[in-house]
Amino acid sequence: MSVTIPIQAIELTPGSQIMISNLSWQDFEQILTDLGEKRTTRVTYYRGTLEIMSPLALHERPHRIIAYILTTILDLQGRNWEDFGSTTLKRPEIAGIEPDTCFYIQNADRVRGCTNLDLKKYPPPDLAIESDVTSKTTLDAYEAMGVPEVWIYGNKQLKIYLLSNEGYAETSISPTFPGLSLIELIPQMVQKAIDQGTSKMLRDLKTQFRQP
């Protein structure tokens, strides 16, 4: 006798994840509906495999700090940006993912006024940020979306991945910020925010950028 357990009944401890195989796209859509909007878990789907993760609090904080750093630098540079947070990105029948956070920068003007992100109508985010990703499924899903740049932060290190025809390749320089060594700057600023407070770190960052 088989037993069916409602997806809502599955409880994950913080820092844990489960993987479910052989799911159709319709299964994935139904699971999103069953899980609902008000939840702490994040989901990734790629070609029949679903991962559900319950992040630790220490997972959440770095990507939020990195987002503050990113928007502060963009503002200092006088550039437009739009933050779409953990909006579910979908490429029907192939992939679905909820980033820790994602941004439109080069395409910021194209998504102004957007309240329902349909990738058939809008371009994918220019940049996605993830903390402590160990699953290849994540990059596979982003590749299916066509997200050109992904930052992954873990173990006090930032890795930058750029998309090409051959998939993602790690690089030391972000084309979004070509004049900055972000793989050095961001880990330093994240640690400073944790040690001294995010507000102070951002004030110091602004002062640093304004110096001749």
Q: What is the CATH number of the domain that holds 142?
A: 3.90.1570
pTM above 0.95, yes or no: no
Residue 164: domain span: 57-210
Using the predicted structure, report yes or no on whether residue 1 has a pLDDT greater than 60: no
CA-CA-CA-CA dihedral for 13, 14, 16, 21, to nearest 10: 80
Report the chain's mean pLDDT, rounded to a whole number.
89
Whether residue 22 is contained in a domain is answered as no
Q: Cβ(162)–Cβ(148) under 8 Å?
A: yes
pLDDT over 90 (residue 83): yes
Domains in the chain, number: 1
Q: Which helix (H) or strand (E) holds 187?
A: helix 182-196
> What would the pLDDT profile of 18-61 be if each residue is shown by its tens digit?
888 999 999 999 989 888 877 778 889 999 999 988 876 666 78
Q: Is residue 27 part of a domain?
A: no
pLDDT of residue 8: 55
Is 189 part of a structural domain of the chain?
yes
Residue bearing the bigger pLDDT, 11 or 5? 11
Residue 34 lies in a domain: no
